[in-house]
Amino acid sequence: MSEVSGRLLVSLEDGVKRITFNNPARRNSIDFDTIRRFAEAIERSAEDETRVVVITGAGDSFCAGAELQSLKPGDSDYDVTTDVRGGVNPGVLAMRSLPKPIIARVHGHAAGVGCNYALAADMIIASDQAFFGQVFIKIGLMPDGGGTYFLPRLVGYNRAFELMALGDPIPAQQAFEIGMINRVVPAAELDVVVNALAGRLAKAPAIAIAKIKAGLINGLQSDLAAALEFEAVNQGDCFRSADFKEGVAAFLQKRKAVFTGK
């Protein structure tokens, strides 16, 4: 399945859905129509045959943030809060609630809301040519897209404040060293690494993956007792799954498990 439509490309093959920002002439900057369609593509992934989502950009960048030409500074009739609530926020919430893993494949620039879409993913794999920037301050804005939620949890308050208040993009290696992303790989190896991870996650036991994701998100907002209770309850769903039975059988028979997601 593939959907080629303007500034957002969506394809689904062998359980791997690829969502590609497609405005390479402007480093894949996005307008609010693209932002809304991105949210819809993530939401559909909960219902279709998707097993893992890979988000990336066309050309030499991931996503440079909101397209400035689509913003309306000084227009007293324009309500940016409504657009953020109706477009950006649903997409980020859909990413976090999707019971399927999301990989951000980052090359070139990931800036503004593009950076925060990457932070909302479950794994961030970047090329050694990638840059990450909370550049909102450069045009007199504060971060949106969940940046104020995700970044301090990854790098701490002081580092997050510095990155947001100064707005200087940092290279992928530095982002890795401060705990912002998962891996940095040579640009020539980016697709090999991402494709291997996507393939591995697509074949993983889907119920267990969904519970891991939900458990981690729950754990960020709960105390130890609540996290333990979440694990106890949701372990029951994993225990009753066909994938658990297959996993045990494969272990005892000394063969590779074939999980069906059931």
pTM reported for the whole predicted model:
0.94
pLDDT digits (tens, 9 = 90+) for 206-245: 999 999 999 999 999 999 999 999 999 999 999 999 999 9
Give residue 96's pLDDT. Answer: 97
pLDDT digits (tens, 9 = 90+) for 125-177: 999 999 999 999 999 999 999 999 999 999 999 999 999 999 999 999 999 99
CATH of domain 2-202: 3.90.226.10
Torsion of CA 161, 167, 170, 174, to 10 degrees: -10
Give residue 73's pLDDT. Answer: 64
For the chain, give every domain's residue range: 2-202, 206-252
Rounded to 5°, the CA angle 179-184-189 comes to: 160
What architecture (CATH level 2) is domain 206-252?
Orthogonal Bundle (1.10)
CA distances in angstroms from 76 to 69, 72, 79, 142, 241, listed in the order given: 17, 9, 8, 19, 55
